[in-house]
Amino acid sequence: MSILANKDTRVVIQGGQAGVNAARRMAEFCYLIKRPLNVEAFVYPPDAGKTNEIPYGSGLIAVPVYATIAEATKHHPTINTSLVYIGADRAMKAGMEALDDPHIQLVSMITEGVPEKDAKLLGAHARKLGKVFNGPSSIGIISAGACRLGVIGGAFDNLVLSKLYREGSFGVITKSGGLSNEIIWICSQFADGITTAIGIGGDAYPGTDYVTYLEMFENDPQTKAVVIVGEMGGDLEERAAEWYGAKKRRIKLIGVVSGFCQESLPKGMKFGHAGAKEGMKGEGSARSKSEALQRAGAIVPPTFGALGPAIKEVYQELLKSGQVKEIVEPTSLPKLPKTVEEAMKADEVIVTPLIRTTISDDRGDEPCYDGYPASELINKGYEIPHVIGLLWDKRLISKQEAEIIKRIIMLSADHGPCVSGAFATILAACAGIGMSQAVAAGLIMIGPRFGGAVTDAGRWFKYAVDNKMSVDEFLAYMKKNVGPVPGIGHRVKSLRNPDKRVKELVAYVKSLNINTPCLDFALQVEQVTAAKKDNLILNVDGTMAAVLVDLGFPVDSLNGFFILSRTIGLIGHWVDQKRQDSRLIRLFDYLVNYAAPKRREVPPLK
């Protein structure tokens, strides 16, 4: 048996993320003791109508969130306990709401920093209703083998090490949440473990004090002894001593109190929990408390270190008198499934990767491009074209190559508002569309007729050069198999009205005295085609393509140079329209040739 929390305890958790974290811990315990999850519902108005996913074993349980306690208990009438994880300023309202629900018998408040008056009101209200209000600042309540409320008990491994999967003979009541696991652990190492451990919270006036719980333990036949872990301040330990000494009790009481160091500290210096700082005019010292406990017949070890042996001694007596029997531990216990990460770390699983990358790694303190840390590239004078070289062609390009790429980007960054890409972006910007979508609208225009011929131009020029074709052979091949030569021809530019960007780029590349077979071939093609028709000149796509193929960039990356460059312009156009707060635009009907059929009568539907 146990007190307060048992196998029939069904819980509603009032609160958000902190409550969800507690539910996860509670689910781990339920899994260990092979019981269904004891959390039925959450109450948290901001998330009402949603569900919280709680891992249980290797699965997930969806626990509904409600706006009120009444809704939660209406849908889950077995709920009899509430855990409050609501902020200190709203904690009292939440606690009262739970206490006032007829289904709920126990409310345990985890919230810290709750005003003292609120805690007293909650405690008094619970007593009036014959219910239990535990906390505030409670770490939780755990009954071995039966029920866990809150995070008390700690991590899964600790639950197993502390033998919380089955009940022992010792009750625990502690103000300190941090020490609760320690005492549970000590009970499991020096004796047969616990029945129930309760964190009552370190505040000055906890809703329920030692005496109420001692009374419950006294009436729980499984509990043979109770360990209380006290602190200086207040009079809770003295009241416990008074209760214990008032008449012959069935349970043995073991108590430790902290705060003896106070005697040797400068006057006025106090520390520890709020409750430890409370206490005026000398009352509530550690010494007076431990003396009161001793006088009442409790076992009071002189130091915390002596607690384990004291518990052991009590356990040995219980064994000898036959009140308890040695427990045979189960041979196997459920193991908490590992996460994939944990299992991989332990070399227990092989995972087939979903994707493979050969260019970039983000797992350190900064990204590495093809293995080179970004900051080192910056500090050693590398620039954006080098990053493009690393990420697009996996090689560290030369200064000269970088300069060519820089010029390509600068030359094709923008080409005014009229071209399809910029126009689409402007149209979208005027319709109030956000940057990424509007710029994407412009990028979508890049294709065979606008800016998207770089890759194809590069492919065919390279094909000709690789196959040592003459210009005539190439043009004949293209005419037969492909169509117009990509990279040749311009809508407005011509031999007499040349494209300055092309002249500039060609002049620069030629000035470097590097081997440029593709560019040379492309220029020869231009001579032939332009002679046939004035505007069949080598355009900017074709020029870029030939140069980039000569630099060794893969054909499939070539359109990227135009896309990248033009993105600069598209972003500019979007920001420009935004800055002007441009209005929605639509075509004027006089700009449309309405070639649709004239208005006519709709025939009856057949």
Partner 1 sequence: MAKVLEGPGMGLMKKWGIQVPNYVVVTSSEELAKLGQVNDWLKHSKLVVKAHEALGSRFKLGLVKVGLDLSGAVSAVQEMIGRQVGSITVSQVIVSEMIPHKEEYYCAVKSVREGGEILIANCGGIEVESNWDRVKRLLVEVGQQPSPEALEKVVKEAGFTGPLVKRMADFAGKLFACFDNEDAQYLEVNPVVAREGDGELVALDAVTLLDADAKFRHPDWNFSFAAEFGRAYTKNELDIMAIDSKIKGSVKFIEIPGGDTAMLPAGGGASVYYSDAVVARGGKLANYAEYSGDPPDWAVEALTEKVCGLPGIKNIIVGGAIANFTDVKKTFGGIINGFRKAKADGKLKGVKIWVRRGGPREKEGLDAMRALKDEGFDIEVFDRYTPLTDIVDKALTGK
Active-site amino acid positions: 273
Burial of 561 (0-12, 13-18, 19+ CB in 10 A): buried
Binding of partner 1 by 114 (CB under 8 A):
yes
Amino acid residing at 355: I
Cβ–Cβ < 8 Å for 256, 299? no
Binding of partner 1 by 271 (CB under 8 A):
yes
* Two structure tokens written together for 169: 């003979």
Query: Is the CB of 90 or the CB of 295 nearer to partner 1?
Result: 90
Least spacing, CB of residue 313 vs partner 1, in Å: 15
Binding of partner 1 by 339 (CB under 8 A):
no
* Two structure tokens written together for 601: 């009568």
Q: What is the DSSP letter of 349?
A: -
d(CA 206, CA 183): 20
Binding of partner 1 by 134 (CB under 8 A):
no
In degrees and rounded to multiples of 5, residue 173 shows phi and psi of: -130, 125
In angstroms and rounded to an integer, the radius of gyration of the C-alpha atoms of the chain is 39
Residue reference for tokens 């995070």: 151
Number of neighbours of residue 289 by Cβ within 10 angstroms? 28
Least spacing, CB of residue 28 vs partner 1, in Å: 12
Q: Supply the DSSP string of 274-327, one letter for each residue.
A: HHHH---TTTT-HHHHHHHHHHTT-B--SSGGGHHHHHHHHHHHHHHTTSS-PP
Least spacing, CB of residue 138 vs partner 1, in Å: 11
Amino acid residing at 334: P
Residue reference for tokens 């939660």: 72
Query: Is the CB of 44 or the CB of 185 nearer to partner 1?
Result: 185
Binding of partner 1 by 282 (CB under 8 A):
no
Q: What is the DSSP letter of 384?
A: H
**Of 135, 168, 202, 569, which one interacts with partner 1 (CB under 8 A)?**
202
Query: Is the CB of 305 or the CB of 604 nearer to partner 1?
Result: 305
Least spacing, CB of residue 46 vs partner 1, in Å: 19
Per-residue x/- track, 38-77, partner 1 (CB under 8 A): ----------------------------------------
Least spacing, CB of residue 363 vs partner 1, in Å: 18
Binding of partner 1 by 252 (CB under 8 A):
no
**Of 224, 249, 273, 493, which one interacts with partner 1 (CB under 8 A)?**
273
Query: Is the CB of 267 or the CB of 583 nearer to partner 1?
Result: 267
Burial of 331 (0-12, 13-18, 19+ CB in 10 A): exposed
d(CA 541, CA 506): 12
**Of 30, 39, 186, 336, which one interacts with partner 1 (CB under 8 A)?**
186
For residue 457, CA distances in Å to 179, 319, 413, 548 come to 74, 92, 19, 11
**Of 124, 359, 378, 476, which one interacts with partner 1 (CB under 8 A)?**
124
Binding of partner 1 by 302 (CB under 8 A):
yes
Binding of partner 1 by 562 (CB under 8 A):
no
Per-residue x/- track, 8-27, partner 1 (CB under 8 A): -------------x---x--
Q: What is the DSSP letter of 602?
A: P
Binding of partner 1 by 344 (CB under 8 A):
no
Binding of partner 1 by 28 (CB under 8 A):
no
Interface with partner 1: number of residues (CB under 8 A): 69
Sequence-distant (≥ 6) Cβ neighbours of residue 399 within 8 angstroms:
none
What is the crossing angle of helices 454-466 and 558-580, to 10°?
Answer: 160
- Shortest CA distance to 202 belongs to which of 124, 109, 126, 125? 109
d(CA 572, CA 593): 32
Least spacing, CB of residue 439 vs partner 1, in Å: 38
Least spacing, CB of residue 70 vs partner 1, in Å: 23
Report CA torsion sign: 14, 16, 21, 23: positive
- Shortest CA distance to 396 belongs to which of 388, 404, 406? 388
Q: Which range in 29-37, 112-120, 350-358, 582-590 contacts partner 1 by CB under 8 A?
A: 112-120
Burial of 130 (0-12, 13-18, 19+ CB in 10 A): exposed
Binding of partner 1 by 437 (CB under 8 A):
no
Least spacing, CB of residue 162 vs partner 1, in Å: 8
Number of neighbours of residue 17 by Cβ within 10 angstroms? 11
Binding of partner 1 by 550 (CB under 8 A):
no
d(CA 35, CA 550): 70
Binding of partner 1 by 155 (CB under 8 A):
yes
Sequence-distant (≥ 6) Cβ neighbours of residue 418 within 8 angstroms:
none
**Of 99, 126, 151, 502, which one interacts with partner 1 (CB under 8 A)?**
151
Query: Is the CB of 264 or the CB of 321 nearer to partner 1?
Result: 264
Burial of 246 (0-12, 13-18, 19+ CB in 10 A): exposed
Binding of partner 1 by 386 (CB under 8 A):
no
Per-residue x/- track, 207-236, partner 1 (CB under 8 A): --x-------------------x-xx--x-
Residues 71-100 that bind partner 1 (CB under 8 A): 88-89
Binding of partner 1 by 538 (CB under 8 A):
no
Least spacing, CB of residue 120 vs partner 1, in Å: 4
**Of 266, 330, 416, 483, which one interacts with partner 1 (CB under 8 A)?**
266
**Of 39, 99, 286, 537, which one interacts with partner 1 (CB under 8 A)?**
286
Least spacing, CB of residue 237 vs partner 1, in Å: 13
* Positions that interact with partner 1 (CB under 8 A): 21, 25, 88-89, 113-118, 120-121, 124, 139, 151-155, 158, 161, 174-182, 185-186, 189, 202, 204-205, 209, 229, 231-232, 235, 256, 258-261, 263-274, 276-278, 280, 286, 302-305, 307-308
